[in-house]
Structure 1
Amino acid sequence: MFARLALSLCFALGLFGSVSAASLAEKRGAIELGRALAKTHCATCHAIGTRGVSPNPQAPRFRNIGERYPIDNLAEAFSEGILVGHGPMPEFQFEPDQIDGLIAYLKSVQSPAKKGKKRAPK
């Protein structure tokens, strides 16, 4: 009983960090923006979800991008334009809120054991 009361008090006082309903809604909004951008700009070549294969076999699946690159490091590439070596990829440049959305979405679809981690060399 005391533990439940203490937990309720901590939430009421905001002692569990900056997680609030507003910040959770903002995060969900960023993920949804990223999902929409990925569907519009990326899905013709990439598998953008948590399952499936990429329509272009050379295009990495979004859920595995974290094995190749730290996800947060992709923000610069999104702002300057993405140039890659997997065939005819259009050049994209995104606005800061779009970049935040793409990063949030990419993080949300990573394979659970590999979120944001680079694969160790073999």
Structure 2
Amino acid sequence: MWRFLIPALALALSASPSQAQEPRAQRGFTFVQTHCAMCHSIGRFGESPLSEAPPFRTLSQIYPIENLAESLAEGIITGHPSMPEFQLDPGQVNDVIAYLELIQQK
């Protein structure tokens, strides 16, 4: 039981209060928590569970976040070798982008 509780607690603590106040970012957080957290660090702290998967908070160091919208809508084929293909609807794209913008390291 502890092996599930500790990661869930760490994830909850890494979420900022502003995420809960911004509906798009909250929906984006829920999406990435469900679909991405098994490989990527999705919060403001911590390492990615899969070493080759970049932490989401550092994506702006590699790509302009707004440029990821097209890739998310058309389908990200591969970001790292074991990454599944994703294709999001326009609402999901906006939600994920809002969340990613919220957590970027400046």
- What's the TM-score, normalizing by structure 2? 0.78
Secondary structure of the corresponding residue to residue 77 of structure 1: helix
Mapped to 2, the partners of 1:85 and 1:78 lie a distance apart of 11
Is 2:83 the counterpart of 1:89? yes
Following superposition, the deviation at residue 61 of structure 1 comes to: 0.3
Following superposition, the deviation at residue 65 of structure 1 comes to: 0.2
Is 2:63 the counterpart of 1:69? yes
Following superposition, the deviation at residue 83 of structure 1 comes to: 2.0
| Aligned twin of 2:47 | 53
The structure having more radius of gyration, on CA atoms, is 1
1:1-122 paired onto structure 2 within 5 Å = 28-111=22-105, 113=106
Paired residues, number: 86
Letter in 1 for 2:81: G
**What percentage of aligned pairs have identical amino acids?**
47
Mapped to 1, the partners of 2:81 and 2:103 lie a distance apart of 23
Following superposition, the deviation at residue 85 of structure 1 comes to: 4.3
Letter in 1 for 2:29: R
| Aligned twin of 1:11 | none
Mapped to 1, the partners of 2:81 and 2:50 lie a distance apart of 9
Moved over 4 A (4+): none
State the Cα RMSD in Å.
Answer: 1.1
Mapped to 2, the partners of 1:85 and 1:79 lie a distance apart of 15
- What's the TM-score, normalizing by structure 1? 0.68
Unaligned runs of 5+ in 1: 1-26, 114-122
Following superposition, the deviation at residue 87 of structure 1 comes to: 1.8
Cα pair 2:58 2:104 within 8 Å, conserved: yes
Unaligned runs of 5+ in 2: 1-20
